[in-house]
């Protein structure tokens, strides 16, 4: 029995724009919890972590779309752009909480970026996401051409790895949560990249 078939049928009825509403509502809910004491005794740190974690989870979801379609027959392609833009939104929110609510002082922000490796790596990942977010529209796709657009958006792979490293180095000691996220990203990247490398090798040797 093809389990993916009924799921694909149901998902075709779900508009992609609903993800934006759900994402914005959840971000607002987390912010509300921070304001009202629902995130514990350190609400700014908790909010910063929550936004970053959701961003990383969405990045993993975006990377999983192609393997899920290839190996499980589950077609989530219509949601890929929304997931990508929501990933950027939550990572931006994570950064803004750190900049505006946590550190606040410009000189200290720059010092942390330069001296703290996990922040340097995190900022590098965010910078790589900027052109991806800016070009995530049909007009950019038409102007750039499909090949150039796809090539640019391979920066997602690097940004995902940098996000995983940021999380790994952020926590103290070896903790299972960041290790699991990193492992998930590595596995998904291998599933995406390996078939392409095999095809190129076969084409060269043919």
Segments making up each domain of the chain, as ranges: 4-205
Q: How many CA atoms lie within 13 A of 59 on its CB side?
A: 33
The angle formed by the CA atoms of residues 16, 187 and 206, to the nearest 5 degrees, is 100
pLDDT along the chain (206 residues), means of 10: 80 92 97 92 92 96 92 90 96 93 80 86 94 92 90 92 92 84 93 64 52
Q: pLDDT at position 4, please?
A: 80
Q: pLDDT at position 201, please?
A: 52
Q: Which residue has the tokens 């910063």?
A: 48
For residues 50 and 30, is the Cβ–Cβ distance under 8 A?
yes
Is residue 70 within a helix (H) or strand (E), and if so which, with residue range? none
From the CB of residue 185, how many other CB atoms can be counted at a distance below 10 Å? Answer: 22
For residues 98 and 112, is the Cβ–Cβ distance under 8 A?
no
Alpha-carbon distance of 94 to 45, in angstroms, equals 10
- Reading the block at residue 180, the tokens are 């699991």
Q: pLDDT at position 205, please?
A: 54
């Amino acid at each position: 029995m093809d389990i993916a078939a009924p799921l694909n049928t149901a998902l075709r009825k779900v508009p992609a724009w609903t993800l934006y509403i759900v994402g914005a509502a959840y971000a607002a809910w987390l912010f509300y919890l921070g304001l009202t004491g629902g995130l514990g005794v350190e609400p700014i740190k908790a909010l910063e972590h929550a936004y970053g974690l959701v961003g990383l989870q969405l990045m993993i979801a975006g990377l999983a779309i192609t393997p899920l379609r290839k190996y499980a027959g589950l077609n989530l392609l219509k949601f890929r752009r929304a997931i990508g833009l929501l990933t950027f939104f939550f990572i931006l929110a994570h950064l803004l909480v750190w900049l505006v609510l946590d550190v606040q002082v410009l000189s200290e922000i720059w010092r942390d970026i330069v001296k703290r490796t996990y922040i340097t790596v995190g900022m590098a990942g965010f910078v790589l996401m900027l052109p991806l977010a800016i070009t995530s529209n049909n007009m950019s796709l038409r102007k750039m051409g499909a090949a150039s657009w796809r090539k640019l958006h391979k920066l997602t792979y690097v940004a995902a790895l940098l996000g995983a490293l940021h999380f790994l180095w952020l926590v103290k000691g070896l903790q299972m949560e960041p290790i699991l996220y990193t492992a998930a990203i590595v596995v998904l990247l291998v599933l995406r990249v390996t078939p392409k490398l095999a095809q190129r090798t076969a084409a060269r040797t043919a």
